[in-house]
Amino acid sequence: MARKKITVVGAGHVGAHTALWLATKELGDVVLLDIIEGVPQGKSLDLMEAAPIEKFDSYVRGTNDYADTANSDVVIITAGIPRKPGMSRSDLINTNVGILKTVVEGIVKYSPNAYLLIVTNPLDVMVYAAWKYSGLPSHKIMGLSGALDGSRMRSFIAMELGVSMSDVHAMVIGGHADEMVPLKRYATVSGIPISQLIPDDRINSIMERTKKAGGEIVALLKTGSAYCAPSAAVAEMAEAILKDKKRVMPCAAFCSGQYGVKDMFIGVPVVVGANGAEKILEIELDNDERAAFNNSVNAVKSLIDELKIGQ
Ligand code: APR
């Protein structure tokens, strides 16, 4: 069986770590592309030199030329500027939408059948822009939101209780911004609702921490944003596609009426497999959850309207 080909655009913090996870999981051969000469080549070579130790045979190659990305099965886009302390994800919008346009056009020219996974922020707007600029069918494009935010919430719950990270599940929907919606009713530890294990005030502070988790790391790092969890989460999404796992993961997917949302991408629970976003699962939301979700949708919508993409 021929190996799969995965391109990662942007060889910065998130991109290089994504290449590392993809290679160690042997999901395919990896092409790492960046606009800066030498950086993707250097980081790829460094990764290849780790292969004998970690015993992976994925081939990682760095490039500045889109021709080398030809016929990729999955393309992960991390190119763009990250946040600095005090910035919100939406402050990145004008710079990153310009970068995204160049990148998407370069990618679809050589890989017209690829699945696109977007990491660049502000996430939900960038996914929408990638859809418009690429001309790809909407099920082929998804954005990294809930797979990351849910993992953050899971880690906070596991640390609170001192239990295994593997036994905690949590669902975060809505936009990948401060208005995201952690769903406490759907968070469980081995099937036990967290409301039976953690007092309400502590659950509320875990939910608040989840919403601001990206900013917490930006404030600590001072020179950039998080990259370990984001890269691990997007590699997990790539794995779901490449291995047709039918994973149920919250991610920014195209809604055509689900949850009352039409013609835009927003974080919802999705079955992810060989056909990308295969099915959106519509779970029941109570009044507060629905109001918070609608608020998050409106925040993304107004950013998209401001940008006037595709109008
Ligand atoms: N084409 C290719 N690569 C580009 C382009 C472009 N047009 N413009 C910028 N890049 C590259 C930069 O050269 C840099 O190597 O994107 C990389 C970004 O890396 P970092 O600055 O380390 O940023 P990172 O932390 O990886 O975050 C990237 O992901 O999580 C989001 O908000 C974050 O939008 C940001 C993105």
Cβ–ligand 1 distance for 145 under 6 Å, the answer no
In angstroms, how far is CA 171 from the centroid of its own chain?
Answer: 14
Alpha-helical (H) ranges within the chain are: 13-24, 39-48, 51-54, 93-110, 123-134, 146-161, 200-211, 213-221, 228-242, 287-307
Q: Residues 288, 291, 297, 298: what is their CA dihedral angle, to the nearest 10 degrees?
A: -150
Q: Tell how far the Cα of 78 is from the centroid of ligand 1, in angstroms.
A: 5
* CA 295 to centroid of ligand 1, rounded, Å: 29
Catalytic residue numbers read 176
Gap from CA of 299 to ligand 1 centroid (Å): 24
Mutate to test the pocket of ligand 1, among 18, 34, 217 (most ligand atoms within 8 A of CB): 34
Residue 103 Cβ < 6 Å to ligand 1: yes
State the CB neighbour count (10 A cutoff) for residue 183. 23
Give the model confidence (pLDDT) of 105-158 as tens digits. Answer: 999 999 999 999 999 999 999 999 999 999 999 999 999 999 999 999 999 999
91 — pLDDT class (breaks 50, 70, 90): confident
Q: Where are the domains of the chain?
A: 5-143, 146-307
Q: 259 CB less than 6 Å from ligand 1?
A: no
* Pocket lining: 50 vs ligand 1, CB cutoff 6 Å: no
CATH topology of domain 146-307: L-2-Hydroxyisocaproate Dehydrogenase; Chain A, domain 2 (3.90.110)
Rounded CA separation 26/58 (Å): 5
Q: Can you give the pLDDT at residue 5?
A: 98
CATH class of 5-143: alpha beta
Cβ(14) – ligand 1 distance below 6 Å: yes
Q: In the structure encoding, which two tokens stand for residue 177, read together?
A: 């911004």
Alpha carbons 153 and 169: distance in angstroms, whole number: 9
Q: What is the pLDDT of residue 83?
A: 86
Best of 9, 14, 121, 227 to mutate for ligand 1, by most ligand atoms within 8 A of CB? Answer: 14
For the segment 235-293, what is each residue's pLDDT rounded down to a tens digit?
A: 999 999 999 999 999 999 999 999 999 999 999 999 999 999 999 999 999 999 999 99
Q: Is the CB of 80 under 6 A from ligand 1?
A: yes
Please give the span between the terminal C-alpha atoms of the chain, in angstroms, as a whole number.
43
The single-letter code of the amino acid at 150 is G
Supply the pLDDT for residue 310. Answer: 61
Minimal-distance CA residue to ligand 1 atom 15 = 12
Instruction: Collapse the DSSP code of 48 into the 3-class scheme (helix H, G, I; strand E, B; otherwise coil) and give the result.
Output: helix
CA 52 to centroid of ligand 1, rounded, Å: 28
**Residue 181 pLDDT more than 60?**
yes
Select from 91, 92, 98, 68 the least CA-distant residue to 5: 68
Predicted TM-score (pTM) of this structure: 0.97
Mean predicted lDDT score pLDDT of the chain:
96
What percent of the chain shows pLDDT beyond 90? 94
**Which residue's CA is minimally distant from atom 20 of ligand 1?**
12
Mean pLDDT of 49-53: 98
Per-residue confidence (pLDDT) for residue 151, from 0 to 100: 98
Count CB atoms within 10 A of the CB of residue 222: 8
CA of 81 to the centre of ligand 1 (A): 5
Which whole-number Å values give the CA distances from 114 to 42, 75, 138, 141, 275, in the listed order?
25, 7, 12, 9, 11
Contacts of 184 (CB under 8 A, 6+ apart): 194, 195, 203, 207
The angle that helices 93-110 and 123-134 make with each other, rounded to 10 degrees, is 40
